[in-house]
Amino acid sequence: MTFCALFPGQGSQYIGMCSELLSSEPEANQIFAEASDVLGFDLKALVMEGTLDQLTVSKYAQPAVLTASYVLFDSFVRRTGVTPDYAVGHSLGEISALVAAEALQFADGIRFTAERGELMHRSIQEQKGRAGIVVDLHQAELEDIVASIRQTHYVAISGYNSPKQFVVAGTAEGLRLLDEKVDRYGGEFIPFRMMPMKADAPYHSELMQFIQPELEEILSGIPFSAPVFPICSTVHGELIRGAEDIPRLLSSQLLQPIRWTQALARLQNLGAAVWIDIGPGQSVRNMLAENPALPAAYSLDDQQDLSRLLERYEALSQKSGGGEAG
């Protein structure tokens, strides 16, 4: 039963995430305490008692989502003895996947996501561009629209979430033109400024080039190891080759579109059959539901899904005589 771990990105955070594990598992509290030590503030208090507005700020949201994802991952592995056969992460989620696969130490991941989030927030402050989501349009149609607008104004597909859901980024005028053309094709453009947990910034596009030198400087001081299980990077849609591959991918990640649909297709071709959303909320599980080529995913943050998964692995373990499954 080939298991692929799916790690969500920024926007999956919510107040109270991991509350059940924090009330029942000392390991969860230890992970939050380690993150708090690195960050210099009480992350658990922010997640349990803070405001969603504060938790949505990138320098807080990113280490919070990484911490919550790692808590869920750690709990599931301890309860089942199962580790992923493959993993993939959506933007920030790629860093969570690297931590889970021991390619990046948790403390280094927390420090990096906080610094990355602070750099990314500058694109909002400096008004580098805007973003939104396009739904109910085929990829080829959207690519034609983008190509026609690019002759005069900058716009780009910055994320391939599903066969009919795409993130777009660009200048204000570029996105205004895109909105008009998408409407004519029968699709819908939803600006991120209308979505409360989305950062209205041109992430994963050429408009983020200004932060690359600082990202590379931060990454130069972080040690990486080869992942203990394969990770498919959404930067190029292929498996990460080794430790030396990681800094280059992370430094270019915010300039490249999130090739999520392409990465999932690659993993399916490699035999991934059980897909598990390992992070707060169900954003990744819901994205997979929009892709008819893939089976339904489970979410560890959904108690019904978690119970079904635990029963499935327990039955498989008993069938195989108590050995590891997956």
- Is it the case that residue 325 has pLDDT exceeding 50? no
Query: Phi, psi (5° rounding) for residue 323?
Result: -80, 175
Extended strands (E) in the chain: 3-7, 86-89, 130-135, 155-162, 165-170, 188-191, 231-232, 274-277, 298-299
Work out the average pLDDT over 268-287: 96
For the domain 3-125+205-319, what is the CATH code?
Answer: 3.40.366.10
- Which CATH architecture describes the domain 130-194? 2-Layer Sandwich (3.30)
Query: Where residue 321 falls among pLDDT bands split at 50, 70, 90?
Result: low
pLDDT at position 322, please? 46
pLDDT at position 199, please? 79
Domain ranges for the chain = 3-125+205-319, 130-194
**What percent of the chain stands above pLDDT 70?**
97
Average pLDDT, the chain: 94
Q: What is the pLDDT of residues 217-251, one digit of tens each?
A: 999 999 999 999 999 999 999 999 899 999 999 99
Q: What is the pLDDT of residues 107-160, one digit of tens each?
A: 999 999 999 999 998 888 888 899 999 999 999 999 999 999 999 999 999 999
State how far Cα 172 lies from the chain centre: 25
pLDDT at position 1, please? 79
pLDDT at position 253, please? 96
Q: Judge contact between 229 and 85, C-beta under 8 A.
A: yes
- Is it the case that residue 318 has pLDDT exceeding 90? no
Q: Is 225 exposed, middle or buried (0-12, 13-18, 19+ CB in 10 A)?
A: middle
Q: What is the pLDDT of residues 174-223, one digit of tens each?
A: 999 999 999 999 999 999 887 776 778 999 999 999 999 999 999 999 99
- Is it the case that residue 317 has pLDDT exceeding 90? no
pTM over 0.85: yes
28: CB partners within 8 A, 6+ apart: 18, 21, 22, 71, 74, 75
d(CA 262, CA 145): 20
Work out the average pLDDT over 47-68: 95
Work out the average pLDDT over 19-27: 97
Q: Judge contact between 8 and 14, C-beta under 8 A.
A: no
pLDDT at position 263, please? 97
Stretch (H or E) spanning 36: helix 26-39
Asked if the domains 3-125+205-319 and 130-194 are classified in one and the same CATH topology, the answer is no
User: Side by side, which strands form the sheet with 274-277?
Assistant: 231-232, 86-89, 3-7, 274-277, 298-299
- Is it the case that residue 324 has pLDDT exceeding 80? no
